[in-house]
Amino acid sequence: MNFLKLKESSIKKKFDKNIKQVSERRNVSQKEIKSVGILTTASISLSIDLQAKIEAVLGVKNVRIYSFKKSDATKDTSFKYFTQKDINWKGIYIEPSFKSFLEEPFDLLIGYFSEANLYLETAVLQSNATFKAGFSGVNSKLYELEISESTAHVEAFSSELKKYLQILKKLKN
């Protein structure tokens, strides 16, 4: 077994333990949404201008986005991407700029990925966001609101998200 698989196994154990605790003591915020963070994959963020589309539909400014990409040999620090090298064996993110992103108390965190990804799921779990939304079928324990849609249909996802946030009185009409 190589080190990466061993590290992933260790992170998965910690994730499973933490997700049980979080789902037992979940507290949903009633605050209106003013700040938004997005966690996604590099392939999605390179093919779609997700930040601009979410800002336009939800009517918020300064949406912050971070994308997960597979680590490569040339590790250049970026304020847009994080990799599996940015997390330690205990499942805690150690890269300072990404850690700062996770500690930000966003009013809404969007997990914009539709396939299970240990690193993205761990980041969503560790985020200090007060309300989390994402795609159904990933991990229902992560989000307060799940939307069943394809990641290619940003407009459909964001309009559904807006509709439900208005119903929950987290966005003004």
3-class DSSP state of 28: coil
Mean pLDDT of 139-153: 90
Residue-range domain boundaries for the chain: 3-26+33-167
What's 3-26+33-167's CATH class? alpha beta
- Which is higher by pLDDT, 115 or 18? 115
pLDDT score of 137: 87
pLDDT in tens, 42-52: 999 899 999 99
- Predicted confidence band at 19 (pLDDT cuts at 50, 70, 90)? confident
Distances (CA, A) of 143 to 3, 8, 51, 64, 125: 30, 22, 20, 18, 9
Q: How far apart are CA 165 and CA 173, in angstroms?
A: 10
Which DSSP helix (H) or strand (E) runs through 64? strand 64-68
Residue 32 banded pLDDT, cuts 50, 70, 90: confident
Residue 157: its pLDDT value, please?
94
The predicted-structure confidence for 35-88, as pLDDT tens digits, reads as follows 999 999 999 989 999 999 999 999 898 899 999 998 765 556 667 889 989 989
Half-sphere exposure of 161 (CA within 13 A, CB side): 30
Rounding to the nearest 10 degrees, give the CA dihedral for residues 136, 141, 142, 145.
50
